[in-house]
Amino acid sequence: MPNPSSKYALEGTAAHQLAEECILNKRSPYTYINGGTVTLEDDDGNQIEYEVTSDMAEAVMVYLKEVTALANYLGQDITGENVEVGFHLDWIDEELWGTNDLMLGVPFDTLYIYDYKHGQGVAVDVENNVQLMYYALGALGPDNPNCYTDVVLCIVQPRATHPDGPIRKWRVSVDALYDFHVKLLEGVKATRDKNAPLCSGPHCRWCLALSVCPEVGKEAASVAGLTAKQVFGDKPLTFPGPNEILPEQRVKLYQFIEQFEQWAKAIKSDTHDKLLSGHDFPGLKVVAGRASRKYRDEAEAEKKLVGLIGEDAYTSSLKSVAQAEKELKKHGLGPEAISDLIETTRGNTVALESDKRPALTIKTASEAFA
């Protein structure tokens, strides 16, 4: 399946590149703001310059503070041998490769493996995290030459809300990791089975074959109450590739998708409203949404910004808080110049009970005013 880079993947790659440069050059990510860039490669192998934003610099700084503090605690200097370290798990299988964002260790004691995640969509748990256990095996090698006894796996994810905070750690014994390699090998072999069972679930959101997977198609048809005959006549219902859909089928599918999306949006909105009104739906809860900053009074903010930076206060309209802070820095001013104009708000959203974010305590109007 084609695997083009998304804007989110590109942003994540840029953030990792920024982190690497800052660690190795002992440079603050904030020095890149106002036109600073990092060099990346696009899908065609061409070099591109990606501009560092204040949001990216702030997130990467959380990571830098954490790994720098660990290096100081261990009395070690972080060098190119610790950052973006590639490995080949050929002792398990020839097709297993990877790269550790950062690793530091004390021989005969503890190895630390860091994974920086720039994404803000899904907060990732660290305990029993298969990806990080895989990275740990890559760092240990087949015979653990440094005789580490334990490994501390650490996820740094500054932009996603998690009940355990942006930095999450889990300690696991080296023996347990070598036991895990057996399970990993079984998983590798299972992927090569031409008749491997299909298993749909939340993980499907990242799958390149999502649009052509028959299992997802069956599940979607079941949820929507469709039968194969309604769309494809006597042909069994799957999710074929775009080139396999006949024109008249495409029209019917598009009409259904439009209607289903509107219905789904209405259901989500109604569920949210009912939960806030005190209704209880087992399996669902209300959790805190992302924090966002805005001007308390846009007219007052506009007046002050124009006084401080003139026409740079605008693009097609008044610049956002983050954009304004960036322009202020160009004029030699810090974010505190407009801090009195800003308020931080955090909305709420509906989530499944399995979501790690704690449920908010919802009071009805009568309870609140009691």
Nearest Cα residue to 87 out of 128, 42, 140, 49: 140
Same domain, 105 and 182: yes
Q: Is residue 259 part of a domain?
A: yes
**Contact between residue 111 and residue 171 where contact means Cβ atoms under 8 Å apart:** no
Name 158's Cβ contacts closer than 8 Å, sequence gap at least 6. Answer: 58, 59, 62, 63, 166
Q: Which pLDDT value is given to residue 154? A: 97
Same domain, 256 and 329: no
Last residue of a domain, one of 159, 189, 219: 189
Q: Is residue 321 part of a domain?
A: yes
Q: Is residue 358 part of a domain?
A: yes
Buried b (16+ CB within 10 A) or exposed e, 116-154: bbbeeeebbebeebeebbbbbbbbbeeebeeebeebbbb
Q: How far apart are CA 157 and CA 324, in angstroms?
A: 25
Q: Is residue 45 part of a domain?
A: yes
Decide: residue 168, CB within 10 A, 0-12 exposed, 13-18 middle, 19+ buried.
buried
Same domain, 222 and 304: no
pLDDT by residue for the chain (370 residues), tens only, comes to 777 777 888 899 999 999 999 999 999 999 998 788 999 887 777 888 989 988 899 999 999 999 999 999 999 999 999 999 999 999 999 999 999 999 999 999 999 999 999 988 788 999 999 999 999 999 999 999 999 999 999 999 999 888 899 999 999 999 999 999 999 999 999 989 988 888 887 788 778 887 777 787 777 766 666 655 666 666 555 556 666 677 877 787 777 777 678 777 878 888 998 898 888 899 999 998 877 788 989 889 899 999 999 888 887 788 888 888 888 888 888 888 898 898 888 788 999 998 888 898 887 777 778 8
Name 292's Cβ contacts closer than 8 Å, sequence gap at least 6. Answer: 344, 345, 346, 347
Q: Which pLDDT value is given to residue 208? A: 80
Same domain, 48 and 139: yes
Q: Using CA atoms in the order 139, 144, 150, 156, what is the torsion angle rounded to 10 degrees? A: 0
Cross-strand pairs, 359:
287
Same domain, 160 and 18: yes
Q: Which pLDDT value is given to residue 285? A: 94
**Contact between residue 172 and residue 153 where contact means Cβ atoms under 8 Å apart:** yes
Q: Is residue 277 part of a domain?
A: no
Q: Is residue 126 part of a domain?
A: yes
Q: Which pLDDT value is given to residue 224? A: 62
Q: Is residue 335 part of a domain?
A: yes
Query: How remote is the C-alpha of 70 from its chain's centroid?
Result: 24
The single residue listed with the structure tokens 């939960």 is 275
Phi-psi region of 64 (alpha: psi -120 to 50; beta: other; left: phi over 0): alpha
Report the domain count for the chain.
3
Q: Which pLDDT value is given to residue 3? A: 75
Same domain, 216 and 357: no
Find the CATH number of the domain harbouring 126.
Answer: 3.90.320
The domain containing residue 226 runs over which residues?
A: 211-265
Q: Which pLDDT value is given to residue 218? A: 75
The single residue listed with the structure tokens 């005013």 is 369
The DSSP H or E segment spanning 101 is strand 97-105
Three-state DSSP at 212 gives: helix
Same domain, 114 and 20: yes
Same domain, 119 and 22: yes
pTM above 0.75, yes or no: no
Q: Is residue 50 part of a domain?
A: yes
